[in-house]
Amino acid sequence: MRRRDFGSAVLVAAIMLVASPAFAQIPKLNLLQDKPGKTQEEKDVESAQDKAYRDSLKKIPDQKAPADPWGNVRSDAPSSSPAKSASSAKSKSKTGTSASGTSPN
């Protein structure tokens, strides 16, 4: 009898583990407001704070372009990687053969 009780307890625990992620997705709705709405003075203060925040954002200077210390070393156009250019040079120098060295025919 104890074995059956233990098995049912394990089954209940397994169901709870499977159902817990689904339970976490249920939104907790509070239909009753805990506190009254904002007064006109609070709304005015909040709008003044928002306006001051937006004005302060406009005063921030634009960022400079990021410094590139290796910019004068590199060429403007990005070239292909050295491994690709070396393999293409080999294939161009060997006419009539593939890269493995056998003839294409």
Residue ranges in the chain whose pLDDT is less than 50: 85
DSSP percent split of the chain into helix, strand, coil, nearest 5:
50, 0, 50
- Contacts of 97 by beta carbon, 8 Å cutoff, 6+ apart: 103, 104
- pLDDT attached to residue 95: 53
- pLDDT attached to residue 41: 94
- pLDDT attached to residue 67: 83
Q: Residue 38: CA atoms inside 13 Å, Cβ hemisphere, count?
A: 8
Instruction: Report angle CA 44, 30, 12 to the nearest 5 degrees.
Output: 150
- pLDDT attached to residue 77: 61
- Contacts of 38 by beta carbon, 8 Å cutoff, 6+ apart: 46
- pLDDT attached to residue 92: 52
